[in-house]
Amino acid sequence: MPLIAPPLSLYVHMPWCVKKCPYCDFNSHGVKGEPPPYAEYVEALLADLDADLRDFGSAAHGRLVHSIFFGGGTPSLFAPELIDRFLDGVRERLPLADGAEITLETNPGTVEHGRFDGYLAAGVNRLSFGIQSFDDDKLRRLGRIHSASEAEAAVKSAQDAGYANINLDLMYALPQQTLEGAQADVARAVALGPTHVSHYQLTLEPNTAFAANPPPLPDDDHAWAMQEACEHQLAEAGYRQYEISAYARPDRRCAHNLNYWRFGDYLGIGAGAHGKLTDVAAGQVRRRWKTRHPKAYLAAPGAPGRIGGDGPVAADELPFEYMLNALRLVDGVPMADFAERTGLPAERIAAALATTRGRGWLDDDPARLHTTPLGQRFLNDVIATFLD
């Protein structure tokens, strides 16, 4: 089957944060001693982008960018002037779609008054706040550097600056959290009027402080009760669930994350950033990731040493990679997208489809890949069926 190039996004990793949280397994590095070389890092990002465009050739160069996402770490540690410098550099190198979504993740404890005006002027049109909870005790247990009142003040400050597209990250099943506590967090989030809420369960990831010394977490039954109750609460407030952990007002779904879940393309620049690109001419889906440590990444801007790994995704891995993303979407994806975005015929997954449909995990719809409510609950098992 011929590959068809999907939409292209740009992911930008900003690796520093004030303090590493005990649950975090992202590539983030706490600031110690001297301030990080923020300006130098921005220049390294542009050199990285130049090198990727050169390496990938027609597979990337000149393609329209539909979204940009600054993730971390804590991107809001970077001054608006530096974000502006970077976005100007991107516009010089790649065309941006009209109304391209540009998101910046921010920690409520790191943004000074007035910075939101600068981010907006630079072109950032969507903010994502890492709130996690509005309970000060839970925030302390999570190692967060902000309080509930500081979180509310930061969101209101962004709204006063003119931001109309804001996501709030919330966690549930926190240490010693009750159902009422989880619902109270959702109520306080909704009261702030964000356009999007990311609501996900705290999990103990390997190589984190919480994994080494697990806190007392609610059991699976209590966590499931929290998920169901909060889903209903968000729906009542007008937020439609469109992905396992994502809820949005009408027309406010996250375009960048939707591109991930639909197995779209994205360039990944910055320390530890991952990218995925469809090379139609070569007939392959290619992944590239960058070296993780900021010092190693900065050692030779744009040089081969910035690359941590690179290569095509094997054909027998593509069905699992595709389903790992697409089946997270509540409404599913067209069946035709599988062939267009993997280059594989639908027959390649016929046995797995028969198994998952037979177990009641997928709807029996030949034109669409769509999980049932039962399949959504056992999504990991559904996706595992597509492992070669």
| Total count of domains within the chain | 2
pLDDT at 282: 93
pLDDT at 114: 64
pTM of the full structure:
0.96
* pLDDT tens for each residue of 308-319: 999 999 999 999
Residue with the two structure tokens 């984190």 = 208
Q: What CATH number does the domain containing 378 carry?
A: 1.10.10.10
Do the domain assignments include residue 24?
yes
- Number of neighbouring beta carbons within 10 Å of residue 24: 18
* pLDDT tens for each residue of 324-373: 999 999 999 999 999 999 999 999 999 999 999 999 999 999 999 999 99
Q: Judging by DSSP bridges, how do beta strands 166-172 and 240-243 pair with one another?
A: unpaired
pLDDT at 112: 61
pLDDT at 344: 96
C-alpha to C-alpha distance for 125 and 135, rounded to whole angstroms: 28
Q: Residue 102's closest CA among 48, 72, 65, 51?
A: 65
- Number of neighbouring beta carbons within 10 Å of residue 126: 22
User: Quick one: 54 and 184 in the same domain?
Assistant: yes
Residue with the two structure tokens 């770490």 = 73
Mean pLDDT of all residues in the chain? 95
User: Quick one: 335 and 197 in the same domain?
Assistant: no
Q: Domain boundary residue among 259, 275, 299?
A: 259
Do the domain assignments include residue 298?
no
C-alpha to C-alpha distance for 368 and 201, rounded to whole angstroms: 28
Q: What CATH number does the domain containing 204 carry?
A: 3.20.20.70
User: Quick one: 208 and 328 in the same domain?
Assistant: no
Q: Tokens at residue 111, please?
A: 């943004």
C-alpha to C-alpha distance for 226 and 244, rounded to whole angstroms: 14
User: Is residue 281 a contact partner of residue 270, using CB atoms and an 8 Å limit?
Assistant: no
Residue ranges making up the domain that contains 327: 318-384
* pLDDT tens for each residue of 233-257: 999 999 999 999 999 999 999 999 9
Do the domain assignments include residue 147?
yes
User: Quick one: 125 and 248 in the same domain?
Assistant: yes
User: Quick one: 252 and 356 in the same domain?
Assistant: no
Name residue 266's beta-bridge partners: 9, 276
Q: Judging by DSSP bridges, how do beta strands 240-243 and 246-248 pair with one another?
A: antiparallel
Helices (H), 274-360: 294-299, 318-326, 335-342, 350-358
* pLDDT tens for each residue of 179-237: 999 999 999 999 999 999 999 999 999 989 998 999 999 999 999 999 999 999 999 99
Do the domain assignments include residue 290?
no
Do the domain assignments include residue 303?
no
Do the domain assignments include residue 292?
no
Q: What is the H or E stretch that residue 99 is in?
A: strand 96-106
* pLDDT tens for each residue of 142-190: 999 999 999 999 999 999 999 999 999 999 999 999 999 999 999 999 9
Residue with the two structure tokens 């979204």 = 67
Q: What is the H or E stretch that residue 16 is in?
A: strand 16-17
C-alpha to C-alpha distance for 332 and 379, rounded to whole angstroms: 13
User: Quick one: 239 and 95 in the same domain?
Assistant: yes
Amino acid at 115: R
Q: Residue 230's closest CA among 270, 199, 265?
A: 199
pLDDT at 258: 98
Do the domain assignments include residue 288?
no
Do the domain assignments include residue 204?
yes
